[in-house]
Structure 1
Amino acid sequence: MAGHSAQPGASVTSRALALLAAFDAEHRRLTLSELAERAGLPLPTAHRLVGELVAWGALVRTRTGQYAIGRRLWDLGLLAPAQTGLRELASPYLHDLYGATLATVHLAVRDGTEVLYLDRLRGHTSVPILSTIGSRLPMHATGVGKVLLAHAPEDVQQHVMEHLTRLTPYTVTQPGVLRRQLARVLRDDYATTVEEMSLGGCSVAVPVRSGPRVVASLGIVVPSLRTGRPRLVSALQVAARGIGRLLPDGDTVPG
């Protein structure tokens, strides 16, 4: 069951919020009956409120008849001070990186035990890209994710180590191997992946710091890292330092 159920006599607002809270990382698409059950609401009440949420754009109905979180909630989330400020400050540097490399550029933060992509500029090269703005991907299989995981609290690292799903034949699924990689991230101050999220896609990423804290990660996706890695790392680090200089100490991000 979801962690937030409407209480008897709850207001319309709390019932609507309970429906939205029924969604989580493991429940991204729900039927009406599942929504009602997880929100602790009678089916007729859930049906009426879900209809209003769909009309407003908070939920969307999929082709299979299930419901998912709507784009309007993401649009509102982007107005949160941390995300708005970080995206706006980073935008010129993302465009500079894109102009210099013509590769796909990502800005991401940690959201719990996943990577949340705040911004993306799509590159010219035909590299498979699974991320979209607002999407969440596993930390262990992405360059930006490995950077953020290396600087995450131990309990977050442990949770990720216990859920190392295989996405391609090259995804790292051995906790010992991943821990050694994270140690290298801390030593070298950048992370790489080679076809670990999708075949044909490699990535390199660096941390973005607000004062001493790592608050985000900046990454590039390319077809290969056999050549040009030092140039990409250098370009990313220059951009990350530029963004970091604009961030106030203590800037907060999700996660």
Structure 2
Amino acid sequence: MARYSNGESVLSRLARLFEAFGPETRSSTVSELSERTGIPLPTVSRMVAELVERGWLQRDADRRVWIGVRMWEMVSRAAPMRELSRTAVPFMTELHARIGQHVHLGVREGHEVLIIEQLSAPVAVRSAVSTASRLPLHASAPGLVLLAHAPADVQEAVLAEPLRGYTPHTVTDPRALRTVLSRVRRAGAAYCPGLIDPVATSIAVPLRAADGQVMAALSVVLPNTESATAMVPAVRAAGVRICRALADRRVSELAVISEDPRPLRTGTL
């Protein structure tokens, strides 16, 4: 593989360039990309020009750079969670029509939850979560569901990390979190009022593949009121229906996309 004079591979620099785009950084100038990646400006300029030519990046009228349509096409065609999303979305749509709030489908990537589908509404409770957002495993309802059913080594690694507190309701003590995870496993659901945002309650249930392994989490975000508990049965019922559909289709993708932990880039739950 071709390498630069400092020993870094071309692929490594290409990865750094694409990873400079995120939920809160959807477009950048070439100079900003250079600053963010540490790659020299002339090199970034050449890379961007070639990627734009291939359609992997695109430039707008202000010369800002975005992820290109060609990249979106390639990723969408080969996405490992494609069949999972296709199976779950019809049931998510029914749940969304009933509650009129945010409905999410999330999988575990390393030590975070990656949201792969979202349904929302203009009148829904505030939330910065969207498709491709990431949430902490210890401080979100889908995260607690996925962590509760994760391999023991993953649980121990997360419990050994500094656990950030977002509100007074966030569990940051490892021993207390073990108790929470045990309760989530027994209950088959996570009910989390005010865990990241005091105004929001999140409810999540596990989604299992035909072999019984938990591969994803279905979750909703509602206003943090006493009536939020009434939505737990509806979320459970939708989860059961999705699991049956997954078994019928023999969908077997596992929830873990990558075991490489990444820095938390969390949104408001």
TM-score, normalized by length of structure 2?
A: 0.74
Paired position in structure 1 for 2:223: 223
Structure 1 stretches lacking a partner, 5+ long = none
**C-alpha spacing 1:171/1:51, structure 2 compared with 1 (3 Å):** farther
Residue aligning to 1:205: 204
> Where does residue 149 of structure 1 map in the other structure?
147
Please give the alpha-carbon distance, in whole angstroms, between the structure 2 residues aligned to 1:122 and 1:252: 25
Q: How far 1:197 moved relative to its partner? A: 2.1
Where does residue 19 of structure 1 map in the other structure?
Answer: 13
Report 1:181-196 matches (<5 A). Answer: 181-196=180-195
Kept in 1, the 8 Å contact 2:205–2:236? The answer is no
Task: Return the letter of the residue paired with 1:111.
Answer: E
CA drift at 1:176: 1.7
Provide closer, same or farther for how the CA distance between residues 93 and 156 of structure 1 changes in structure 2, counting only shifts above 3 A.
same
Report what 1:70 is aligned to: 67
- Cα deviation for residue 190 of structure 1 reads 0.7
Residues in 2 aligned to 1:81 and 1:27: alpha-carbon distance in whole angstroms: 18
How many residues get paired?
A: 240
- Please list the CA deviations of residues 15-74 of structure 1 after superposition, one character each: whole Å capped at 9, or x if unmatched: 2x322422698995674055244xxxx65323310343356354889x9x998x736545
1:44 corresponding residue in structure 2? 42
Q: Which runs of 5+ in 2 are unaligned?
A: 26-31, 259-269
Query: Which deviates more, 137-146 or 157-166?
Result: 157-166
* 1:232 matched to 2:234: yes
* Residues 196 and 59 (structure 1), Cα distance of their counterparts in 2 relative to 1, 3 Å cut: farther
User: More deviation in 153-162 or 140-149?
Assistant: 153-162
Residue 196 (structure 1) shift: 1.4
Distance apart, 1:137 and its partner CA: 1.6
Output the aligned Cα RMSD.
3.4
